[in-house]
Amino acid sequence: MWWLAGVLVGVEAVVCVLSDLGSGIGDHPVAGVLLIAAYLIPGLLVAARARRGEPAWAFLAAGMIASAGGDLYAFLRIRHLDPEPLVTWADALWLSFYPAFAVALALLLRRRLPRLGAAAWLDGVIAATAVAALASVPVLAAVEPAPHSTTLGVVVNAAYGLSDIAVTGFLLGAWALCGWRADRVLGLLIAGMGLFAAADTADTMLLWQGADVPQSLELLWITGLLVLAAAAWQPARPTATTRPRVWLSTAVPAVLAVLSLGLLVVAALNERSVAAVSSVLAATAVTAAIVRMMVSVRTAEQVGAARRLARTDELTGLGNRRHFIERLDRELAATGGPLAVAFVDLDRFKEVNDSFGHDVGDSLLRLVGIRLHAVVRGPVQLARLGGDEFALLMPGMGRDDAAAVVNRLLSTLREPFRLPEVDLHVDASIGIAVRPDDGADRSTLLRRADVAMYAAKQGHGGPVFATGLDDHARARLTMLEELRAGLDRGELVLHYQPKVTVGADRRVVGVEALVRWQHPVRGLVFPDAFLHTAESADLMGRITGVVLDLACRQSRAWHDQGLAVPVAVNLSVSNLRDPAFPEQIAALLEHYRLPASALELEVTESVLMTDAGNALKLLGTLRDRGVRLAVDDYGTGYSSLSYLQVLPADDLKLDRAFVSRCDTDPRSAAIVHSTVQLAHSLGMRIVAEGVEDDGILDRLREYGCDYAQGYGIARPQDAATTTAWLAQSPGVSPETGRSAVPNLV
């Protein structure tokens, strides 16, 4: 397109030279035809661009082609008239360009503008009115109409310059609405209309003065049309993606407002030098600038307040986690000297919330924040990270200085807090990490301080430095991360321990699923080595879900082999807190096409006591759906006998601590005997755990115990070994398995 523009400009230059050498275009018909073509071709170029689906360019093309039609009318009907009339039908075609351009610009802005705020609209008003005021001065005040001019002639010919001024101001306002971003399309549109405004203003002045209009002005008009065509052919950018330049978005409105203010000053000093319209436009621009300044000040205040709120803990007024991290990053980057980070976690704060309510807990946290803030001095930064956890940043401090600060905090914390409801004593566990001993970057220091804090919580012996941790603490963290990865890789496996009747036939009535971790390096890891760690990291719910799935899958395989043996799975606290857990069990049984009696769920007393009300309700739902329930490790917890009265359990599993000594210890024997009678009186079956030999089994038979399990019967084995054992056991062989235990399947 640029080569065509060059040709058109060259043609126009030749036309202008030929016309100025003669008496007009009429003396050179070829030059006139070339001139009309030069006006028409830019409009056709925009029309070609509009065919690609952009409606804005269709309106612009229509306006440009209509303007070229006015030139054609003037060439055919007006060029021979002497003098030329001031108003003709060509003016209607030429002036139709402006509303078409306005519609095109509105359509372009609708796609390009983001969501606008008050500041953007005010910038648009400032730009539009200031430019209109400044540009209207020479048009409205420089000359007087010629004596032969009519009112219609004055209005029509002045409309060109005023329309150019209005459209140019509109364009600058649009640029302001776009945030003063660098935009090639808007820039070319402004440049094109600037050329139009210059040419139309000069033409109007010459007409009003009765002077001849040189044909060289045609060069400005056609160049302006070519610039508009170039704008149409720029790559489409539907939304603003670049950030505005701050200096530009501030400087341009400010300069325009100052110029408008200067125009008003001139108008005040000499009323006749500035038209009333120009003064009104300038006053509008100055007023908008004042309002814009007020909006900017208000916005700055809101941004500052939002920034403070984003870095302040709402409850205590201390810095929050974001503020603490930002300050830590600055301190780490500023110097390589010593620096200490401490995590402070209040001990037994959950008991305060559970016993007195969250309102009292919040009041306590506010008082803790006030007291800690009063203790810290100098460069020490105190923040609340969330919940009952606080953090200290101690720039320039090593172990000794950090220990002094932390011990001072602990001392002031241990003084009672007087609340309207109760006086409370608070202690805290504090872990400290020091640069460079415990790390030099933010993540390492925070991680080591967190580890030290948990070590302090377990030891209850005052603050703990990360450098003082033993290998066991590091091994615990390593195991936790490996366990998470092992869950993702499916490294958990199940071993199964049979349960048999106490009678002489030892008929198999079920198996208990026991989880193991098939570690890729350590080999088979037993649950006592990782379940406590998993429970502290809230992984028990996920582990139980994996165990349930594996158990149901194996049960399905045994059913397919004719070994219809129920599988028992231990539940965790998280399962009994999950209201959707019964649905999870139902979905598993349906997925593996198992009856409800194929699964038995075991709950320990400690798990049951965590949330007895909800646990009993959830277990009742499971029992109603046909799933058998058992109380595991009975006798080792602190549950009341009243819970046994309402607990929807089928079996009571007596802990091995009593069973393993019942043949040698009279007290243990009495406990076992009485527990068997208690279970039977409540309609439950009793399962004795920890049966090590036949002597214990004989004693259990005397007491009337129902079932037994232990190493004296069978050790836990993997699925393949257990399958072979079951196939050879009475009551579960492929030939008799489906009829030997009809009450369980």
pLDDT, tens digit, 9 for 90 and up, residues 630-667: 988 787 655 556 667 777 888 988 888 888 888 888 88
Report which of residues 578 and 77 the model is more confident about: 578
In this predicted structure, the answer to whether residue 25 has a pLDDT above a threshold of 50 is no
Q: What is the pLDDT of residues 587-632, one digit of tens each?
A: 999 999 999 999 999 988 767 666 677 788 888 899 999 999 998 8
- Kindly list the domain boundaries of the chain, sorted by start residue: 2-294, 321-468, 497-514+541-734
Looking at residue 545, what is its pLDDT? 92
> Among residues 243, 134, 252, which one has the least CA distance to residue 197?
134
DSSP labels for 493-504? EEEEEEEEESST
* Residues 6 or more apart whose Cβ sits within 8 Å of residue 415: 371
* Residues 6 or more apart whose Cβ sits within 8 Å of residue 85: 78
> Among residues 631, 648, 628, 630, which one has the least CA distance to residue 639?
631
Beta strand 381-386 with 389-395 is antiparallel
Of 241-255, 368-382, 469-483, 618-632, the range with the highest mean pLDDT is 618-632
What CATH number has the domain spanning 497-514+541-734?
3.20.20.450
Amino acid, res. 417: F
Under the banding of pLDDT at 50, 70 and 90, the label for residue 546 is very high
> Among residues 539, 541, 601, 545, which one has the least CA distance to residue 570?
601
In this predicted structure, the answer to whether residue 743 has a pLDDT above a threshold of 50 is no
Judge whether 26 and 59 are in contact, CB under 8 Å.
no
CA distance 184 to 222: 20
* Residues 6 or more apart whose Cβ sits within 8 Å of residue 338: 396, 397, 398, 434, 435, 436
The helix/strand/coil state of 613 is helix
CA distance 326 to 29: 77
Under the banding of pLDDT at 50, 70 and 90, the label for residue 554 is very high
In this predicted structure, the answer to whether residue 710 has a pLDDT above a threshold of 50 is yes
Radius of gyration of the chain (CA): 45
In this predicted structure, the answer to whether residue 286 has a pLDDT above a threshold of 70 is no
Instruction: Give percent above pLDDT 70 in the chain.
Output: 67
- Whether 321-468 shares its CATH topology with 497-514+541-734 is answered no
Quote the tokens at residue 625: 């759906």
Under the banding of pLDDT at 50, 70 and 90, the label for residue 250 is low
In this predicted structure, the answer to whether residue 410 has a pLDDT above a threshold of 70 is yes
> Among residues 103, 249, 109, which one has the least CA distance to residue 176?
249
Beta strand 628-634 with 599-604 is parallel
List the beta bridge partners of residue 428.
346
Q: What is the b/e burial string over 16-44, where b = at least 16 CB atoms within 10 angstroms of the residue's CB? A: bebbeeeebbeebeebbebbbebbbbbbe
Report which of residues 27 and 459 the model is more confident about: 459
Under the banding of pLDDT at 50, 70 and 90, the label for residue 549 is very high
φ and ψ at residue 346, rounded to 5 degrees: -70, 135
Q: What is the mean pLDDT of residues 463-488?
A: 76
> Among residues 651, 607, 604, which one has the least CA distance to residue 632?
604
Lay out the sheet containing 428-435: strands in order across.
381-386, 389-395, 339-346, 428-435, 464-465
Q: Which residue has the tokens 């046909």?
A: 626
Under the banding of pLDDT at 50, 70 and 90, the label for residue 508 is very high
* Full 3-state SS string of 677-712: HHHHHCCCEEEEECCCCHHHHHHHHHHCCCEEECCC
In this predicted structure, the answer to whether residue 164 has a pLDDT above a threshold of 60 is yes
Looking at residue 739, what is its pLDDT? 31
Instruction: Give percent above pLDDT 90 in the chain.
Output: 16
The helix/strand/coil state of 388 is coil
CA distance 302 to 280: 33
Quote the tokens at residue 88: 């003709």
Judge whether 333 and 325 are in contact, CB under 8 Å.
no
CA distance 300 to 219: 48
Under the banding of pLDDT at 50, 70 and 90, the label for residue 687 is very high
Report which of residues 393 and 182 the model is more confident about: 393
φ and ψ at residue 613, rounded to 5 degrees: -60, -55
Looking at residue 63, what is its pLDDT? 86
pTM of the model: 0.45
* N residues, the chain: 745
Q: What is the mean pLDDT of residues 338-350?
A: 87
Long-range contacts of 554-561 (CB under 8 A, 24+ apart): 554/494, 554/496, 554/513, 554/719, 555/592, 555/594, 555/598, 555/599, 556/592, 556/593, 556/594, 557/719, 557/723, 558/723, 558/726, 559/594, 559/598, 561/723, 561/727, 561/734
CA distance 601 to 622: 9
Q: What is the mean pLDDT of residues 89-94?
A: 83
Of 115-124, 284-293, 436-445, 708-717, the range with the highest mean pLDDT is 708-717
Mean pLDDT of the chain: 77
Q: What is the mean pLDDT of residues 28-37?
A: 71
DSSP assigned state of 312: B
Beta strand 428-435 with 381-386 is unpaired
Beta strand 567-570 with 428-435 is unpaired
Q: What is the pLDDT of residues 109-144, one digit of tens each?
A: 766 655 555 555 566 566 666 666 666 665 554 445
> Among residues 40, 42, 32, which one has the least CA distance to residue 78?
32
Helices (H) and strands (E) in the chain, counts: 29, 16
CA distance 106 to 97: 14
Of 20-24, 271-275, 640-644, the range with the highest mean pLDDT is 640-644
* Residues 6 or more apart whose Cβ sits within 8 Å of residue 735: 562
Quickly count: other Cβ atoms within 10 Å of residue 130's Cβ: 30
Looking at residue 126, what is its pLDDT? 62
* Residues 6 or more apart whose Cβ sits within 8 Å of residue 530: 479, 483, 517
Under the banding of pLDDT at 50, 70 and 90, the label for residue 534 is confident
Quote the tokens at residue 459: 């030891």
CA distance 198 to 138: 11
What CATH number has the domain spanning 321-468?
3.30.70.270
Q: What is the b/e burial string over 545-583, where b = at least 16 CB atoms within 10 angstroms of the residue's CB? A: bbbbebbbbbbbebbeeebbbbbbbbbbbbbbebeebbe
